[in-house]
Structure 1
Amino acid sequence: MSVEIVKCPSCKQKLAIFPYVPVGGLVVCANRNCGADLRLVSRKPARVELVPQQETYTVDYRPESYG
């Protein structure tokens, strides 16, 4: 299992992105004080971008949390 490490653009916390998270998938920053919603933009190199919270939470979907 090849885990990729990225930094949260908001708080600079290091985050592990597992292979089963698809490009375009949503994750949540592991820093309890941050909790930013992030979207995986690319794999090689691994890169994430901030996503407005209102775009992430719906009745049917919630981002995966890593902590």
Structure 2
Amino acid sequence: MSVEIVKCPSCKQKLAIFPYVPVGGQVVCANRNCGASIRLVSRRPLRVELVPEEATYTVDYRPESYG
């Protein structure tokens, strides 16, 4: 399993992105003081973006946390 490392756009915490996270999938920053929701934009090159806080609270949304 090839883990890729990316920095949180908000706090610069290093995050591991596992291969099973799909493009468009969301993860939560592992930094306890940050907790930002991050969307995987592309794999090659590896790019992520912050998800607006108001877009993260829906019935069907359950992000996973990676550290």
What TM-score, normalized to structure 2? 0.92
RMSD of aligned alpha carbons: 0.9
Matches for 1:1-67 after TM superposition, within 5 Å: 1-67=1-67
Shift of residue 57 of structure 1?
2.1
User: Share of identical aligned residues, percent?
Assistant: 88
- Runs of 4 or more consecutive aligned structure 1 residues displaced over 4 Å after TM superposition: none
| TM-score under structure 1 length normalisation | 0.92
Q: Quick one: distance in 2 between partners of 1:45 and 1:30?
A: 22
CA distance in 2, matches of 1:64, 1:57: 14
Task: Work out the number of aligned pairs and report it.
Answer: 67
Give, in whole Å, the separation in 2 of the partners of 1:65 and 1:9. 15
Amino acid at match of 1:5: I
Query: Displacement of 1:53 after TM fit?
Result: 1.6
Question: What stretches of structure 2 of length at least 5 have no aligned partner?
Answer: none
Q: Which amino acid aligns with 1:35?
A: G
Where in structure 1 are there 5+ consecutive unaligned residues?
Answer: none
* C-alpha deviation, 1:33, in angstroms: 0.4
